[in-house]
């Protein structure tokens, strides 16, 4: 079976670097290693240290509050998602995915031969993860449930307690819960003990994450999968089958990033600033629906005058005529919405919102 096209990622790749007012990109801008080294007054890391893999796993475990033995490295969160699904999904099994959804969460298990079905994260309920909806959508064939936290595209957060309770309900049914946590650090980024926001680890939970979205380490592809044995053993098998060994340069770079995560967190907080609050005010000003994210780098705008492919054409004209870009909601299964992000520079954001209003012909609501 040929691997299916990932429409959203193809669209994002095509539009990369094309917008002067980019309200689509959902990750903190790239940070250079030299910038970190200068900021914390240390030398850049050696990239050939043979202990790099052990160091990055140790730091990854420390930042998540788990033993290093529960961490398997990956080439970013995207690779982590593939590893988790390859470890647990068999042809003919069923995978239950949240909706609205980030496309690879459904595409990867489908490409591995699984049947993918969906449960709703309701707009009327603020896109909250409702365990009852999950349990009600299970079938005897369901092998895995996949969710994101923060929810992509709405930005809604699910508490650790809610995820732990859901995992406990899934455990006696023989169902694994996979949580894509690439956006989870957004709010405090690090808590008082220097630990990332993370889900509770349970025998049937797999966590995938990376330093890409919250900390600007995208080009370094520093990602990981966290699970308990024997799930993690299956993840390691998938890693070996897919790429053999991870590059030592990636491990050493990852360790350097994780060692200086506090500095990176402060940088990310400055970049986020008050733009989320300004995005909310913009949606209210124009009488649009808003997913009300409490943290993060994006939210879901609904109630726009165009929908589906017509909306994508409208967005394309907006890029050509106004230099502004957002993500069409149909990529996430939301026909009348857009995902609005605020990773762009401070001096571009407000002007980008003004231009976006022109693109959609929005009028101010009294």
Query: What is the number of residues in the chain?
Result: 366
Strands 94-99 and 142-148: parallel
Is the model's pLDDT at 366 over the cut of 60? no
Reported as a pLDDT band with limits 50, 70 and 90, residue 158 is: very high
CA pair distance 152, 67, nearest whole angstrom: 28
If asked whether residues 97 and 159 sit together in one domain, one would say yes
User: Of 265, 289, 323, which one is at a domain's C-terminal end?
Assistant: 265
The domain that contains 161 carries what CATH number? Answer: 3.40.640.10
* Shared domain check, 121 and 196: yes
Q: Residue 366 falls within a domain, yes or no? A: no
pLDDT value of residue 2: 61
Q: Is residue 37 part of a domain?
A: no
Distances (CA, A) of 316 to 63, 183, 187, 292, 310: 41, 27, 32, 26, 10
Are 115 and 236 contained in the same domain?
Answer: yes
In a domain, 228, yes or no: yes
Tokens representing 71 are 């961490």
**Is residue 38 situated within a structural domain?**
no
Tell me how far apart the alpha carbons of residues 320 and 249 are, in angstroms, rounded to a whole number.
40
Please give the model's pTM, rounded to 2 decimal places: 0.95
Shared domain check, 77 and 16: no
Is the domain of 260 the same as that of 276? no
Kindly report which listed range (45-49, 53-57, 279-283, 361-365) carries the lowest average pLDDT score: 361-365
Q: 164: helix, coil or strand?
A: helix
Residue 259 counted as domain residue: yes
For residues 56 and 194, membership in a common domain is answered with yes
Q: How many domains does the chain have?
A: 2
Domain range for residue 230? 43-265
Provide the pLDDT confidence category of residue 365 given band limits of 50, 70 and 90.
Answer: low
pLDDT digits (tens, 9 = 90+) for 308-318: 778 888 999 99
Pair (74, 114) in one structural domain:
yes
Question: Among the residues of 223-305, which ranges form H helices?
Answer: 231-243, 248-259, 261-272, 275-285
Same domain, 235 and 95: yes
Q: Of 220, 237, 265, at which residue does a domain stop? A: 265
Q: What is the mean pLDDT of residues 157-166?
A: 94
Mark whether 318 and 238 lie in a shared domain: no
The answer to whether 315 and 321 are in contact (CB under 8 A) is: no
- Give the list of residues 6+ apart from residue 202 with CB closer than 8 angstroms, or none: 164, 167, 168, 171, 177, 228
Q: Residue 160 falls within a domain, yes or no?
A: yes
Residues 253 and 310 in one domain: no
Question: Average pLDDT, stretch 60-65?
Answer: 90
Question: 299: which strand partners?
Answer: 340
198 has a pLDDT exceeding 80 = no
If 0-12 CB within 10 Å is exposed, 13-18 middle and 19+ buried, where does residue 16 land? exposed
The answer to whether residues 218 and 90 belong to one domain is: yes
CATH number for the domain including 327?
A: 3.90.1150.10
Q: How confident is the model at residue 1 (pLDDT cuts 50, 70, 90)?
A: low
Q: Which two tokens stand for residue 225?
A: 């999968």
Q: What is the DSSP string of 158-196?
A: --HHHHHHHHHHHGGGT-EEEEE-TTTTTTTSS-TTSPP
Residue 241 lies in a domain: yes
pLDDT of amino acid 197? 72
Query: Which of 265, 282, 309 finishes a domain?
Result: 265
**What is the average pLDDT across 288-305?**
95
User: Looking at the domain assignment, is residue 35 inside a domain?
Assistant: no
Residues 253 and 300 in one domain: no
């Amino acid at each position: 079976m040929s691997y299916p096209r990932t429409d959203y990622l193809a669209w994002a790749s095509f539009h990369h670097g094309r917008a002067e007012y980019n309200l689509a990109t959902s990750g903190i801008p790239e940070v250079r290693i030299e910038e970190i080294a200068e900021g914390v007054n240390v030398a850049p890391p050696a990239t050939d240290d043979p202990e790099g893999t052990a160091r990055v796993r140790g730091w990854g475990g420390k930042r998540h509050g788990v033993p290093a033995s529960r961490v398997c490295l990956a080439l970013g969160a995207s690779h982590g998602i593939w590893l988790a699904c390859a470890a647990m999904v068999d042809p003919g099994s069923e995978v239950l995915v949240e909706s609205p959804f980030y496309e690879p969460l459904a595409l990867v298990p489908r490409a591995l031969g699984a049947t993918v079905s969906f449960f709703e994260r309701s707009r009327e309920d603020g896109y909250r993860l409702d365990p009852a909806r999950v349990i009600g959508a299970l079938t005897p064939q369901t092998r895995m449930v996949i969710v994101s936290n923060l929810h992509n595209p709405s930005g809604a957060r699910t508490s650790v307690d809610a995820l732990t309770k859901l995992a406990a309900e899934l455990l006696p049914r023989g169902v694994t819960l996979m949580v894509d946590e690439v956006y989870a650090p957004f709010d405090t980024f690090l808590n008082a003990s220097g630990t990332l926001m993370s889900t509770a680890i349970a025998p049937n939970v797999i966590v995938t994450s990376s330093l890409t979205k919250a900390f600007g380490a995208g080009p370094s592809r520093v990602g990981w999968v966290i699970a308990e044995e024997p799930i993690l053993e299956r993840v390691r098998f998938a890693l070996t089958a897919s790429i053999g060994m991870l590059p030592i340069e990636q491990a050493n770079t990852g360790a350097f990033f994780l060692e200086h995560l506090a500095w990176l967190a402060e940088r990310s907080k400055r970049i986020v600033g008050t733009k989320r609050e300004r995005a909310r005010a913009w949606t209210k000003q124009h009488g649009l629906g808003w997913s009300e994210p409490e943290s993060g780098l994006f939210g879901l705008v609904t109630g726009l005058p165009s929908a589906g492919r017509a909306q994508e054409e409208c967005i394309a004209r907006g890029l050509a005529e106004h230099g502004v870009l957002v993500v069409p909601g149909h990529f996430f299964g939301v026909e009348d919405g857009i995902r609005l992000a605020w990773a762009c520079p401070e001096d571009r954001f407000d002007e980008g919102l003004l231009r976006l209003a022109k693109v959609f012909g929005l009028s101010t609501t009294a």
